[in-house]
Structure 1
Amino acid sequence: MTTTVAFLGLGHMGGPMAANLVKAGHSVLGYDPVPEALAAAAGAGVEPAASATAAAAEAEVVLTMLPAGRQVLALYGEGGLLAAARPGTLFVDCSTIDVADSRAAHRAAVGAGHRALDAPVSGGVTGAEAATLTFMAGGGEAEFAAAEPLLAAMGRKVVHCGGAGAGQAAKICNNMILGISMIAVSEAFVLADSLGLSDRALFDVASAASGQCWALTVNCPVPGPVPGSPANRDYRPGFAAPLMAKDLGLAADAARAGGVDTELGLRAAALYAAYAEGEGADRDFSGIVRSIRARSAAGPARRPGGQAGPVQPDPQHHDEKDELT
């Protein structure tokens, strides 16, 4: 059954997602403030709209894929999408944003006479292009049932996680696991190299043993063992390091707000923030292995006081932990 969808945000993720809705037979009105993104989507069959509100006014479902919660709330705000849309329009936000912002957007939509669902994604640009994303949805059963066919056209797995904000909660928890796992896998390869063990040998053992994980077997941070991983393309994303830093920052904020002791999550957030601000600004998140290797090559001189031994947490990390205890 054809649905008219307003797709707002046609960047690296949103563009391919909108194209897959077109392929599935839906009518898609698209808008993005970047002319190149809008033109690329038009080439894939998306009908360009003059503005976000113009698209929303014609749609049964308004789907947003935006960088931050403040942008979602601004678009939903006074004189924006909620005012332009027909009563009862289903708003599906696929952005990865703060849980509190997501719940605020949900309340605003419902308060304006609409329906709402948060449905962030996992799978990166490759998953968006191949329609193999995983969607984590939060909202009512009826809203989920209405959105599920659209989400299934863009992804391989669609999970209803609970009420408003539950999709965002699942996303930041999942990516905290992923960020920590990638650092652990990267450190293991650097350690293995220092011990004279080849990347292939470690991969062959760990991929068939208790160290097996997605960060190793799908997104392996070293070239060779997994030909399709970004490591074999000079760490071109994939899942860009700044996006991982953003997601880990959201998880860290949620942990502090809830008084949850996520020591490894906070440390991973600090490491990815530093990597994303430096050489990782335009690289896949798995490229953090290069930073670990570079720090290791610097030897004891890189450590406080020039002493050998484990790297000490930075003062910011101490402050973060103090807030939790």
Structure 2
Amino acid sequence: MKIAFIGLGHMGSGMAANLVKAGHAVRAFDLSEAAMAQAVSDGCIGAPSLEKACEAVEAIITMLPGGQHVLSVYSQVVEHAPKGALLIDGSTIDVDSARQVATQAQVAGYPMIDAPVSGGVTGAKAGTLTFMCGGPDAAYERAEPILKQMGKTVIHAGAAGAGQAAKLCNNMLLAITMIGTCEAFALAEKLDLKDQVFFDIASKASGQNWALTSYCPVPGPVPTSPANNDYQPGFAAALMLKDLGLAMQAAAQTNADTPLGSRAHALYEALCNQGHAAQDFSYMMERIRRGA
């Protein structure tokens, strides 16, 4: 299949590379020359412009920083893409922007789904991402086999915007559980429990959670966690703050009560303001240890 991939950041580059490995002809475009060079090295065809990237393709996938970028890019995509080409946006953006661009695509005659991902840079490279999809059944059925070549779990959450809703709720929950996990380790240390001992107990007890067992915020117990690589992401604290901001925006719009989500947002905002935006979101462990 001929696929355009627009947006080759830390996530997009790994995803595009996996599509190449699956046998697709991937035409890649990004404003970054370094990202383009990496994509070509991975087997993609470098496109000199967004317009050229969209020529004669059957599907277009985007991984972009925010809602304004998605709206801007798709205003151009619907002018240049072949009619009927499948549009898949893997960006994490606000629900309203996702629904707006889906309506724009529908009016222009393009099937589209929003398909934000979970799994981080490691999952993007390994092809083990989870995709949360929103959009019409027919568009999802066309997208599913493509997404399965970049991830291990693909779930249809509902109509347009439902994928974004699921992603924001999931990441708010992840932030809350990561902070709680860090607090528990910090308290355990002050009570003279070794990290490995507490991990061995909590991972088999009622405190078990993904942030503990798969992404442990202290060095040692989970060798693949960023804590064992000087908290290099992974999933940067700045990205977690972005997702929490979107969750808080959605909570305000729907009058949802999210006291722990609000506190998590405040803590990650403080962490980023202290100069740790580029470190993994599990670096929250160090902030809690310091108590500031």
Is TM > 0.5 for Structure 1 vs Structure 2? yes
TM-score by length of 1: 0.88
Q: 1:107 aligns with which of 103, 109, 115?
A: 103
* Distance in 1 separating the partners of 2:224 and 2:61: 30
3-state secondary structure, aligned to 2:160: coil
Q: Which has the higher contact order (CA 8 A, sep 6+)?
A: 2
Shift of 1:112: 1.1
Choose the corresponding residue for 2:231, options 210, 217, 235: 235
Q: How does 1:132-171 map to 2 (within 5 A)?
A: 132-171=128-167
Alignment match of 1:69 (pick from 60, 67, 75)? 67
User: Which residues of structure 2 form unaligned runs of 5+?
Assistant: none
Q: Deviations over 1:260-287 (max 9, x none)?
A: 0010011101111221232322210000
In 2, Cα distance between the equivalents of 1:58 and 1:69? 26
What is the distance in 1 between the residues matched to 2:272 and 2:15? Answer: 25
1:280–1:288 CA contact under 8 A, matched in 2: no
Alpha-carbon distance, 1:202 to partner? 1.0
Q: How does 1:243-282 map to 2 (within 5 A)?
A: 243-282=239-278
What is residue 322 of structure 1 aligned with on the other side?
none
CA-CA distance at 1:58 after TM superposition: 2.3
- The total of aligned residue pairs comes to 292
Q: Secondary structure at the match of 2:149?
A: helix
- Give me the TM-score of the superposition, normalised by structure 2: 0.98
Structure 2 residue 212 is the aligned partner of structure 1 residue 216: yes
1:49 to 42, 47, 62: 47
**4+ residue stretches of structure 1 with deviation over 6 A?**
none
Pair 1:179-2:175 in alignment: yes
- Letter of the 1:256 partner, please give it: A
RMSD: 0.9
Query: Hey, what does 2:199 align to over in structure 1?
Result: 203
- What corresponds to 1:317 in structure 2? none
Stretches of structure 1 lacking an aligned partner (at least 5 in a row):
297-325
Look up the SS of the partner of 1:92 in the other structure: strand
Give 2:4's aligned residue.
6
Distance 2:226 2:45 in 1: 32
Is the counterpart of residue 120 in structure 1 residue 119 in structure 2?
no
Q: Which amino acid aligns with 1:148?
A: E
Q: How far, CA to CA, are the matches of 1:49 and 1:81 in structure 2?
A: 14
Looking at structure 2, the residues matched to 96 and 70 of structure 1 have their Cα atoms a distance apart, in angstroms, of: 11
Distance in 2, Cα, partners of 1:277 & 1:50: 37
Question: How many angstroms does 1:52 deviate by?
Answer: 1.1
- Distance in structure 1 (CA, Å) of the matches to 2:205 and 2:291: 28
Identity %: 54
Taking the aligned partners of 2:269 and 2:50, their CA distance within structure 1 comes to: 32
Q: CA deviation at 1:27?
A: 0.9
Q: Give the Cα–Cα distance (whole angstroms) in 2 for the partners of residues 51 and 13 of structure 1.
A: 20
**Which letter does structure 2 place at the counterpart of 1:71?**
H
Matched AA of 2:277: A
Distance 1:224 1:50 in 2: 45
Deviation at 1:196, TM superposition (A): 1.4
Distance 1:54 1:107 in 2: 24
Question: Does 2:20 correspond to 1:26?
Answer: no
Which secondary structure does the structure 1 equivalent of 2:10 belong to?
A: coil
Query: Shift of residue 87 of structure 1?
Result: 1.3
Distance in 1 between the 2:42 and 2:260 partners? 42
Residue number among 284, 287, 303 corresponding to 2:283 in the alignment: 287
- Counterpart of 1:4, as a letter, is K
**Residue 278 of structure 1 aligns to a residue in which SS?**
helix
